[in-house]
Structure 1
Amino acid sequence: MAFTLPDLPYAKDALSPAISSETLDYHHGKHHNAYVSKTNDAIKGTDHEGKSLVEVIRAAKSGGNQGLFNNSAQIWNHTFLWHSYSPDGGGKPSGKLADMIDDAFGSLDDFKSKFKEKATGNFASGWTWLCEAGGKLEIVNTDDADTPIVHDGKKALLTLDVWEHAYYLDKQNDRGAYVDDFLEKLVNWEFAAGNLGKSEEDLAGNQNG
């Protein structure tokens, strides 16, 4: 069975005005969809056909198949991204996640400052992640399609896409404004907290081929 483009977990206009429906038309409907199509084309008739998405990503990485890695990892990254946004996002985390943020960064405000610094300083195209590693939280930048899925010991809790196609229609070149909107209006703390108790195989973004 081929991979499919997952539906957004909200209406296309639900994140407006922070992220417009036009941006999601392009970002989800064209960019994400293209990664799905290219991955399906690349695995058709190969040993990868029928494997889970995570299995394809890891096999492509270990086998040095950069094209397949780029496209399959971007399926996973984008599916995870849609859940990192929420129309009811922002606010404050609670419970264990709030305590871990305080332990790792000092306070929620300090976390936001450090996350923005990392995200705006992530050169060119890439992703900024909140990850759990060894029971501690850390902010991790990855380049291009790179993903925590192929970095042992790092489990993604949240992500922000800092490729320009994620924000250019709405914010032009002001990545900082996009990061601010994410942290103040869109960040899905409930999703992040739920990921603390999940295995990597159960995180959003995993699909069977």
Structure 2
Amino acid sequence: KHHGAYVTNLNNLTKDTDLASKSLEEVIKVAAADLPAKQGIFNNAAQVWNHTFFWNCLKKGGGGKPGAKLLAKIEADLGGFDKFKEDFKAAAVGQFGSGWAWLVLDGGKLKITKTANADLPLAHGQKALLTVDVWDHAYY
């Protein structure tokens, strides 16, 4: 329901503009560089991206430790898998209001971060690897 509204709003906001032919990531970057003028476009585009990415992070029977390469990176950058889980949960629980908790790659290092509302790592030059939705509507 929410995702569909974001898609419809984004399509309406970009219809007959140069943004209509751009990828979702390009739309986000262009809008992020022109805030607050393109706030509506940014919010809707970012929420389409955020929700799609979140759903792609989910896997039936998923959970547990990641593959060896990512696990080694987590151990090196974040102090181990158990510490990562603890810190990731703390970021999610500690997000005041609506938003997202993220595992990102930033300058070659893994980091745990959180964003409010529609904000996302892409707008800050980071690569998202994992997210959890902490919007209240995600759980009803």
1:57 maps onto 2:25 in alignment: no
What is the RMSD of the two structures over their aligned residues, measured on CA atoms?
Answer: 1.0
Give the alignment's TM-score, normalised by structure 2: 0.94
Which whole-Å CA distance do the structure 1 matches of 2:92 and 2:40 have between them?
25
Which whole-Å CA distance do the structure 2 matches of 1:148 and 1:44 have between them?
25
Which whole-Å CA distance do the structure 1 matches of 2:77 and 2:19 have between them?
39
Structure 2 unaligned spans of 5+: none
Higher RCO structure (Cα 8 Å, ≥6 apart): 1
1:94 Cα deviation from its structure 2 partner? 2.2
Match of 2:109 in 1: 136
Out of 11, 22, 33, the position equivalent to 2:4 is 33
Which whole-Å CA distance do the structure 2 matches of 1:101 and 1:144 have between them?
26
The correspondence of residues 108-187 of structure 1 with structure 2, limited to 5 A, is: 108-152=81-125, 154-167=126-139, 169=140
Which whole-Å CA distance do the structure 2 matches of 1:111 and 1:49 have between them?
39
Give the alignment's TM-score, normalised by structure 1: 0.64
Aligned residues: 138
Match of 2:55 in 1: 82
Which whole-Å CA distance do the structure 2 matches of 1:59 and 1:122 have between them?
26
1:105 Cα deviation from its structure 2 partner? 2.2
Structure 1 consecutive aligned stretches of length 4 or more whose deviation exceeds 3 Å: none
Which letter maps to 2:18? D
Match of 1:10 in 2: none
Which whole-Å CA distance do the structure 1 matches of 2:82 and 2:14 have between them?
44
